[in-house]
Amino acid sequence: MAIDPQFPIVFIRHGETDWNKQGLIQGSIDTDLNAQGHAQAKAVAALLALRAQEWADFQIIVSPQRRARQTAGYVFAALSRSDHEIDHRVRELGFGIWEGKPFWELKDSPIYPADPEGRFFWRPEGGESYEDGVARITEWRAALT
């Protein structure tokens, strides 16, 4: 897939979920947008529709996660489009056994590295390290050119 370099890459994060609101680690768990998340997705879609008028053609690439697809649905409606590609490489980082637990519990755990550099390479059981996530996104980005 080739992308014209004159167009920016615009990332839209999914709207709020109940798990976000509760401080729970979602990772690869499929969660739905809550009412606030739907409102956020609708608002960002309206803003994107205004900017998209400047671009002659562009692709929409979506994470396979339900909250991302729900957010993208508002974008499709605002742009009167439905064409898109689902790409697993842009999904959220997987946190393995920590998914569904409060983030503060992970931060307070002795297995979580205290130093930021150590966190980059730390891989939770059954999950991904930030290094893994960067590699995945780098692979995705390289495929765009």
Active site residues per annotation: 14, 92
Residues 51 and 8: their CA atoms lie apart, in Å, by: 11
* Integer Cα distance of 129 and 120 in angstroms: 6
- CB contact at 8 A, 91 and 59: no
The full 3-state SS of 57-102, as one line of letters, equals CCCCEECCCHHHHHHHHHHHHHHCCCCCEECHHHCCCCCHHHCCCE
CA atoms of 66 and 31, how far apart (whole Å): 6
